[in-house]
């Protein structure tokens, strides 16, 4: 029988991890003895150091916070002294070495927003939308020394709609994952769930997204471009070039197939692609505010019958 409360370390960094962090803090079966997060980073024009959301949240509850620039032997020894029963990891943004994974008796449990082994890596939610998946989910896994490779404790599925953006699905999935977290951990700790190895032959991988990945290739089919526009909203965003200016495509839909346009050709507010057309809904010209497509065309009469690159 498990000896509750479980002495727990939480490792995470961005705001999306806070629902899971809060769920652990509020449940008295878990004693959060420390939070590990990334160092404060300079933000804004004056480059003032900004604490991570996890740091701010931990300090609100007087939870000790550790922010190593990198995980070193010092960090390993530090965690050995803390001697946690469990480490819960969610978007920590650093590789956790085996020396740490081996410390807690219940191991390190990672929350991953995909149905592993599908979409391993840093951008699983974006990847799922861009790939046209109709179903994704949350995986709770026992970490090993490879990325998103360890045995699965529990998975829950979640439907992707044709309206989901990357931001919307992230918010929904992280909340969904937080709601199920405590029950999964308790069942695992009490031995009601046995972790199951992944089928590594079925693994797919997502890349770390950068701004340049948002460049639209109008030679692709319209449905692929539309999914990318949704998937990359809000980060890293999608864009193309109109002459020498960057034009962000914030939202769009697949247009009518009646018009046969060359890839990138603009006509009646519709853009041609490699197969079908895209109808932008909201756009933002470099240096300007976001606006609806009809407003943009009204203010830029020379946009019609041009070509986007």
- The topology (CATH level 3) of 6-202 is Rossmann fold (3.40.50)
Which tens digit of pLDDT belongs to each residue from 128-152? 999 999 999 999 999 999 999 999 9
Q: How far apart are CA 279 and CA 275, in angstroms?
A: 13
Beta strand 245-254 with 152-159: parallel, antiparallel or unpaired?
unpaired
Instruction: Answer for the pair 27, 182: CB distance below 8 angstroms, yes or no.
Output: yes
The per-residue pLDDT for range 239-291, each reduced to its tens digit, is 999 999 999 999 999 987 767 899 999 999 999 999 999 999 999 999 999 99
Return the pLDDT at 256. Answer: 77
The CATH topology of domain 211-303 is: 3.10.25
User: What is the pLDDT, as a whole number, of residue 265?
Assistant: 96
Indicate the SS3 state at residue 19.
helix
Q: Measuring CA to CA, which residue among 42, 22, 18 is closest to residue 30?
A: 22
Confidence of residue 294 (pLDDT cuts 50, 70, 90): very high
| Whole-model pTM over 0.75 | yes
Report the length, in residues, of the chain. Answer: 309
The pair of three-digit structure tokens given for residue 224, joined into one six-digit string? 């692929």
Query: E strands along the chain, which residues?
Result: 6-12, 30-36, 41-43, 48-50, 65-66, 86-90, 108-112, 135-142, 152-159, 239-242, 245-254, 266-267, 270-272, 277-285, 291-292
Residue 197 binned pLDDT confidence (cut-offs 50, 70, 90): very high
- Pick the residue with more confidence: 256 or 33? 33
Tell me the average pLDDT across 26-49. Answer: 92
pLDDT score for 61: 98
The radius of gyration computed from the CA coordinates of the chain, to the nearest angstrom, equals 23
- Extents of the domains making up the chain: 6-202, 211-303
Q: Give residue-wise pLDDT tens across range 42-88.
A: 887 777 899 999 999 999 999 999 999 999 999 999 999 999 999 99
Q: Quick one: pLDDT at residue 285?
A: 97
Of 198, 66, 219, nearest in space to 139 by CA = 198
pLDDT of residue 288: 95
pLDDT, position 46? 77
Spatial separation of the C-alpha atoms in residues 123 and 8, rounded to whole Å: 26
Peptide bond into 307 cis (omega under 30): no
Average pLDDT, the chain: 96
- Report pLDDT digits (tens) over 97-134: 999 999 999 999 999 999 999 999 999 999 999 999 99
Per the omega criterion (within 30 degrees of 0), is the bond before 236 cis? yes
Rounded-to-integer distance, Cα 158 and Cα 56, Å: 30
């Amino acid at each position: 029988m498990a000896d509750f409360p479980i002495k727990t370390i939480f490792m995470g960094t961005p705001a999306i991890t806070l629902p899971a962090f809060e769920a652990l803090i509020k449940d008295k079966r878990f004693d959060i003895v420390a939070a590990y997060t990334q160092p404060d980073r300079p933000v804004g024009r004056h480059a003032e150091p900004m604490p991570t959301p996890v740091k701010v949240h931990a300090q609100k509850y007087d939870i000790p916070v550790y922010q190593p620039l990198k995980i070193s032997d010092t960090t390993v020894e530090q965690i050995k002294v803390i001697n946690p029963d469990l480490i819960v990891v969610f978007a920590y943004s650093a590789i956790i070495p085996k020396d740490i994974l081996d410390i807690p008796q219940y191991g390190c449990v990672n929350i991953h927003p995909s149905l592993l082994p599908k979409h391993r890596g840093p951008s699983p939610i974006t990847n799922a939308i861009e790939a046209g998946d109709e179903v994704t989910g949350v995986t709770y896994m026992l970490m090993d020394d490879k990325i998103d490779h360890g045995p699965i404790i529990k998975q829950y599925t979640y439907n992707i709609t044709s309206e989901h953006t990357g931001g919307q699905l992230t918010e929904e999935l992280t909340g969904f994952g937080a709601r199920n977290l405590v029950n999964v951990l308790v069942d695992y700790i009490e031995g009601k769930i046995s972790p199951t190895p992944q089928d590594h032959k079925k693994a797919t991988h997502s890349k770390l997204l950068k701004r340049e990945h948002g460049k639209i290739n109008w030679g692709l089919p319209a449905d692929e471009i539309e999914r990318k526009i949704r998937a990359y909203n809000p980060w890293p965003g999608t864009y193309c070039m109109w002459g020498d200016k960057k034009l962000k495509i914030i939202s769009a839909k697949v247009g009518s197939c009646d018009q046969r346009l060359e890839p990138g050709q603009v006509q009646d507010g519709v853009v041609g692609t490699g197969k079908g057309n895209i109808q932008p809904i909201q756009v933002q010209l470099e240096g300007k505010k976001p606006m609806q497509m009809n407003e943009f065309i009204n203010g830029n009469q020379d946009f019609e019958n041009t070509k986007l690159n």
